[in-house]
Structure 1
Amino acid sequence: MEKKISVVIPTYKRPQLLVNCLDALASQTLDMAAFEVIVVSDGPDRHTRDATTQWHSTHPSMNFCYLATLTKKGPAAARNMGWMAAKAPLIAFTDDDCLPEPGWLEAFVCRYQGEPHLVMTGRVQVPLSAQPTDFERNTAQLQTAEFVTANCCCSKDALLIVGGFDESFSMAWREDSELQFKMITEGIPVLHVDSACVRHPVRPAPWGVSLREQKKGQYNALLYKKYPRLFREKIQKHPVWQYYAALLLFITFCVALVLNLTLLAQLAFTGWLLSIAVFTWKRLRMTRKSMSHITEMMVTSILIPFVSIYWQWYGAVKYRILLL
C-alpha cells in the first residue's frame, strides 16, 4: 500500500517517553501500511537507539526508521532531517512526550483532499492534576495555542516551498511559530482538524524550572526580527511592562541607597515589593498551595523579571533587533 502520511518525532535522551509515544502510534486506527514513523535523535544517543531497536523488534509490521543528526542542533534540525527523508505526501509532527489518540492520523488523512499546499493543526489535551503547579498550568497553554509542532501536519510540498524549519531556533521554542508565519506569508492555508488529538502529559519538573525556561526568551527576538507584525499580533502584543517596572523600581532603590535618599529608597523598595507580591499572587491563585510550591513561586517571582529581561536583551543583541 502506498504510504499516505509520515510521522516525524524529534527526540533526545528520553527513551521511555519515546517508547510510550511509539506505543500510541502502534494503536492508530489508520492501516499501519499507510503510514511510516521516522524518529530523529537530536545528536548521537545510544540509549534511545537501543530502545527503539528493541521496540521495533516487537512491532515488526510498523514502517519505522531511526535517524540521528551528527551533532546536537535542536528539534528544528531533527524535524528537517525527518521530513526530508519521508516518503509520504503528508508529514505529521508530534513530540516524544506526546501520546497521539488512536484516530489521530486517520483524522488528518481523511481531511486531506490532495491539496499540494496545505497545513493542518490538531487538538492538544494536557491532563492536569487536581492542584496543578505553575509549570503544569503553563504547559496547559498548549491547549489554546494556535499552532504547535506537538500536533500539526503539513504537505511535503508546503514544507519544500518554505524551506522547512529555521534551524537558527536551536531550542524547542518559537520554531513552530516561525514555521506557521512562513506558511501564512506564503498564503498557504492553515486549517484546524479538531478530531486529530494528542495528549501531552506534563513531565515532572525540578524546583525552580521557571527560571531555566526564561532562556528560551532569546528566540523571541529572532522571531520578531523576521516577522514583526505577526509577532505582535499572535505572540506578544506589547512588552512585558511589569518586568521592566520591577527592574526599574529595584534599580531606583539601589541608587537611592547609594545616594542616601532615604525616602526615595523606601518608596522604590515598597513599590518593588508590591510588584513582586502581585506577580506571585497571580501565579499562585489557581495553582498548588503546598509550602514547597509557595516558596518556589515567591523565590522565582523575585528573580524572573531580571532573568527574563536578561535573556530577551541577550537575544536582541545577538540578532541585532530592538525588542522590548
Structure 2
Amino acid sequence: MTSAPGSGAPRAGYAVVVPTLVRDTLADCLAALAAAHGPHPDEIVLVDDRTDPDADPDTLEHALTVLGDLRERTTVLRSGGRGPAAARNAGVLAVTSPWTVFLDDDVQVGPHWCDQLIQDVTEAAPDTGAVQGVITVPLPDGRRPTDWERDTAGLARARWTAADMAYRTDVLKQVRGFDERFTRPFREDADLALRVLDAGWRIRRGGRATRHPVRPASRWAAVKQQSGNADDALMRRLHGPHWWAKAVAPRGRIRRHVAITAAGTAALALAAAGRPGAAAAAGAGWAAGTAEFAWARIESGPRTRREVTTVLVTSVLVPPAATWHRLSGLWRHRSAPAWYEAAV
C-alpha cells in the first residue's frame, strides 16, 4: 500500500491495461487518463494487438505523446492480433501492482476518475475481487438514436464490461485471466466475471465514471456483429444453458433468427422441388418474420432514408448470419473444456 499525495490515507496501487488496434480513439483515451485528477496509475501497459508486424509505428507514437509525464510509466507490448482477451492477458503478465484496471481504447475516463478509482478499490471488502466503473454513452440530441447507437448504448447497462473494470491482480492470476478462445470483444468479460464469482469472490459496482462515445461504424456493422453468436455457443458450453441469466445478459433474438432462416431455406427448397403452394406458405413466414425484425429496429430510430435502407437490407442478412455463426460455434465448441483445463 502507498499513500496519496497530500494525504495520510493509504491507497492501493493500480495499473491500467489498454488493449488497442491503435484506432483514432486511442489518443483521446490516453489524454483523458493523463488529465484525470488524483493519484495516477503506477503502470500503464498498452498492448498493440494489430496483426501486421510492420504496422505504421507513427500512429502509436502520436497517441503516446499525449501522456506527458505518464509516458515514463508506460510499457508497450505486441500481442499479434489474437484478440482483446489475449491482449489483456499479455498486459497482466507485465503488471506488478495489486489492482489491474482494464480500459478499452475507445473510452474516455472522467475528470476525477483517478480519485474515484482509488476510492472504489480502497473501499473494496476483502472478498471483493473486482469493481466495475459506471459507463455512460452519450447519444445525439434532437433525434432518435440509430440502430448502431442504441446497440452501443447497451454498454451502459452491461454487467462486468471490460471497458472499465478493476480486478485484483491476484484474482486474475487465480482464475488464469481471460479465456483466449474469445477472439472478439464479446462475452470474454462476462466469462471472466462468472469464473471470478464461481471462485467465491464478489464483484461490485463502483462510483467512477467513464464515457464511451459512439464511434463511426460501417452500414454492415449489424451483420458483422453476428459473429458473436459463436461466442454465445462457447458460453453455453462453459456455463450451461442458462448462462445468460447468470451473466444478466439479454437472450437476444437467436431463436427468431433461426426460425426466419429455416422458413426462408424451406421456401427455396420447396420451390426447387416443384411445390409452389408450400413454398409460398414458407416464404410468407420468412417475410413476416423479417418484416417484424426490421420494424422493431426502425420504429425506435430516426427513420431517415439512409437508416431505413440500412435496416431493411441488414434485416434480411442478419438472421442467416446469426444462425450460421451459432451453428458453427456449437460445432466448434462442442467439446470445449474449461479454460483452466484448456490452458494446461
Q: TM-score, normalised by structure 1?
A: 0.91
Deviation at 1:116, TM superposition (A): 7.0
Amino acid across the alignment from 1:124: I
The structural deviation recorded for 1:70 is 4.8
Q: Which residue of 1 aligns with 2:324?
A: 310
Question: Is 1:213 the equivalent of 2:249?
Answer: no
Question: What's the offset of the Cα at 1:237?
Answer: 4.7
* Contact residue 116 and residue 157 of structure 1 kept, 8 A: no
The equivalences for 1:143-222 within 5 A come to 143-193=156-206, 195-222=207-234
Identify the match of residue 288 of structure 1 among 293, 302, 310. 302
Q: Give 1:127 shift.
A: 0.8
**223-232 or 18-27, which deviates more:** 223-232
The structure-2 alpha-carbon separation of the partners of 1:230 and 1:111, relative to structure 1 and needing over 3 Å to count, comes to farther
Match of 1:20 among 10, 25, 28: 28
Match of 1:128 among 135, 139, 142: 139
Decide whether aligned partners of structure 1 residues 275 and 53 sit closer, same or farther in structure 2, where only a CA change above 3 A counts: closer
3-state SS of the aligned residue for 1:112?
A: helix
CA gap 1:270/1:236 in 2 versus in 1, 3 angstroms? same
**What letter matches 1:303 in structure 2?**
L
Q: Is 1:226 equivalent to 2:238 in the alignment? A: yes
d(CA) in 1 for partners of 2:203, 2:159: 10
In structure 1, give the amino acid aligned to 2:84. Answer: P
Q: Which residue number in structure 1 is paired with residue 43 of structure 2?
A: 36
Structure 1: stretches of 5+ with no match in the other structure: none
Given that 2:160 and 2:190 are in contact with CA atoms closer than 8 Å, whether structure 1 keeps it comes out as: yes
The answer to whether the Cα contact below 8 Å between 1:36 and 1:62 also exists between their aligned partners in 2 is: no
Aligned amino acid, residue 20 of structure 1: D
Question: Which of 57, 69, 74 is 2:78 aligned to?
Answer: 69
1:165 Cα deviation (Å)? 0.9
Residues 301 and 70 (structure 1 numbering): CA distance in 2 closer, same or farther, change over 3 Å? closer
> 1:51-84, CA deviations, whole angstroms, 9 ceiling, x for partnerless residues?
244334xx12555313222521111111112222
Kept in 1: contact 2:129–2:203 (CA 8 A): yes
Mapped partners of 1:52, 1:259: distance in 2: 60
Distance 1:151 1:230, change over 3 A: farther
The 4+ residue runs of structure 1 with deviation greater than 6 A are: none
Do the aligned partners of residues 278 and 116 (structure 1) sit closer, same or farther apart at CA in structure 2, a change above 3 Å counting? closer
Q: What does 1:225-264 align with in structure 2 at a 5 Å threshold?
A: 225-228=237-240, 231-233=243-245, 234=247, 235=249, 237=251, 240-264=254-278
| 1:141 corresponds to which of 149, 154, 166 | 154
Give the one of 311, 327, 335 matched to 1:297.
Answer: 311
| Equivalent residue letter for 1:283 | R
Give the match for residue 110 of structure 1: 119
In structure 2, relative to structure 1, the CA distance for the partners of 1:239 and 1:273 (3 Å cut) is closer
Give 1:88-107 correspondences, 5 Å limit. Answer: 88-107=97-116
- The one-letter code of the counterpart of 2:156 is Q
Q: Does the CA contact (< 8 Å) of 1:35 and 1:63 recur in 2?
A: no
Aligned twin of 2:339: none
| SS at structure 2 position matched to 1:149 | coil
Contact (CA 8 Å) 2:37, 2:112: kept in 1 or not?
Answer: yes
- Distance in 2, Cα, partners of 1:302 & 1:35: 50
Is the 2:39–2:114 contact (alpha carbons within 8 Å) kept by the matching residues of 1?
Answer: no
Structure 2: distance between partners of 1:313 and 1:245 = 13
State how far apart, in whole Å, the 1-side matches of 2:237 and 2:172 are: 21
Distance 1:70 1:200, change over 3 A: closer
> Once the 2 structures are TM-superposed, how far is the Cα of residue 230 of structure 1 from its aligned partner?
5.3
Gaps of 5+ in 2: 4-11, 337-344
Who is 1:50 aligned against?
61
CA distance in 2 between counterparts of 1:271 and 1:168 reads 36
3-state SS in 1 of match to 2:294: helix
CA distance in 2, matches of 1:237, 1:273: 23
CA RMSD of aligned residues (A): 2.2
Are the aligned partners of 1:165 and 1:179 in contact in 2 as well (CA < 8 Å)?
A: yes
Question: Pairwise mapping of residues 261-276 of structure 1 onto structure 2 (< 5 A)?
Answer: 261-276=275-290
